Each structure stands twice: as structure tokens, then as C-alpha cells.
Amino acid sequence: MRIRIVDAFTDRPFSGNPAGVLLLDAFPDDPWLQKVAAEVNLSETAFAHPLPPGGGADWALRWFTPITEVDMCGHATLATAHVLRATGRATGTVRFAARCGVLTTTAAGDGTITMDFPTSPLTPVDPPEGLADALGAEVVSVHDTAAHIGDLLVELRDEKAVRALTPDLPALAGLSERGVIATAAAEDPGRGHDFVSRCFFPRVGIDEDPVTGSAHTALAPFWSARLGRAELTGLQGGARTGIVRTALRGERTLLTGQAVTVIEGDLRV
């Protein structure tokens, strides 16, 4: 079967967030899916298969990190939609049935793909004991996110603080269900982004995720409330970076980006 590595939330290879993508006829057993994801060893590998026509979704979609299945993944969904378009398996709008509900992606003529995801509710919480020490940075505010994400959204003082993070990953692993989203307002919005973020998920086998679509379902309402605009641009990443355009639509958040296939080959099983 064909396997592809796609860099998501970027228009050039070797940037953005890489994801594995396999299009199947049906899902094999879970241990096999997990072994493939461990072999690919990227933050997520997406597995998808077509559904019968006439239902509420067009494709079934699941995502696995190297060690576990996750409820929601943005960049691997974008990568899957990119592969469907590139191979002619789907055009226009595609509906995916996933653990977090039905997600849709819509391809545009300019090469961008827009994903329709549930907005993450945010709950202000006190900083957990040890959070500032684990991050190595001053914490301004902390919000808990919805169950499908399971992160702590942590506001830092400024963009420089986010970029300089070298967190204690084992310490972070015990502070939330999935991980920590560190964010701050852009130092210079004239450079094309409104806020920055970095995401650390050691609890699910991902030390740092370069560009996390699911995190932006929480970042969008957080920064839209502060900046007074429904449509924003986020820059995420440390060594690798990518751009996510967000549009807050109440209980739904639109995430727009590009993707590029960098590796395509045969998975021999």
C-alpha cells in the first residue's frame, strides 16, 4: 500500500508539521495501526478509508502518535485532505468521521485547504504547582481546554519568552492530559502573524509538535477575545515553523493552511 509523508501548514518541504498518511480500504486491527505509527515515528500518522455513499461522512479517519491514538489532530487531517486532492480521490469538500465528530475540509483553487473543527471551550484555572519551573518562564495566565484536546493553554509574557523555551519535558508530562500550549501575542504584527505558540506533548510521545491544528481551536477563541478580531494568523514552532489562519465562528473554528508531499513510497507488510 502507498504511504506518504506530508508537511502540513506550509507551502515548502522540510517545514511545517510532517504527518504520515495511509489511505486504506478498511481499518485493520488497532495493534497494526499503532505499529505503523510507531514505525513512521512522526507526531501523528493518519489512517483513512472511504465510507459508503449517502451517509453523514465520506471518509473514516483516525490518528495515532507513536504510542497512542488521539481524539483530534489538525495537521494530519490537513495532510489527508491534501493527499485525497492530489490523488484525485476527492475534490471540493470532504467530510471525515472521527472520534471527535464529523470534520470537514474544503480545498480552494489557490492550494489552501480550510478545515472546520469544533471550537475548544476555555476555562481559566490556577497554574498547577511546578508549571512555571517546568517551562522555565513566567506564567501570565492558564486556561484548561476541552476534553478532545486535553491541554493547558499557558500565556507567557511575550513572543521572546515563547521562542526561548527549553522546558523540562518529564515535569510537563504530569501536568495535563495531553500537554501544554505556550503562547504570546506577536511582537510585531506587521510581520504577518498575530500570535505565536509552541506545543509540548511528552505524555503522548511528542516532545514538541511543530504546528498543531487542534491547539488552534483553543488559540483562536483565546486571541480573538483579546485582539477583538474573529480572523487571525498564528505562527507556531521552534526549529520548524508553520502558519495557521484561524476564523472563529462561534462553536466552530476554521483552520486554513497548505501542505506539500515530501515522501511517497510502498509500505511492505
Q: What share of the chain is helix, strand, coil (3-state, %, to 5)?
A: 20, 40, 40
- What DSSP letter does each residue of 90-150 carry, written as one string? --SEEEEEETTEEEEEEE-TTS-EEEEEEPPP-EE-PPPTTHHHHHTS-EEEEEE--TTT-
Nearest-angstrom CA–CA distance, 36 and 58:
24
The alpha carbons of the chain give a radius of gyration, in whole angstroms, of: 18
With cell 498518511, the residue in question is: 21
Phi, psi of 136 (to 5 degrees): 75, 35
Question: Could you confirm whether 129 is annotated as catalytic?
Answer: no
Q: Name the active-site residue from 44, 155, 159, 208.
A: 44
Nearest to 176 by CA among 203, 210, 146: 203
Which backbone phi and psi does 106 adopt, to 5 degrees?
A: -130, 120
The answer to whether 220 and 194 have CB atoms below 8 angstroms apart is: no
Q: At a CB cut-off of 8 Å and minimum separation 6, what does 58 contact?
A: 50, 51, 90, 94, 95, 96
Measured CA to CA, the distance from residue 267 to residue 269 in angstroms comes to: 6
Which residues form the catalytic set? 44
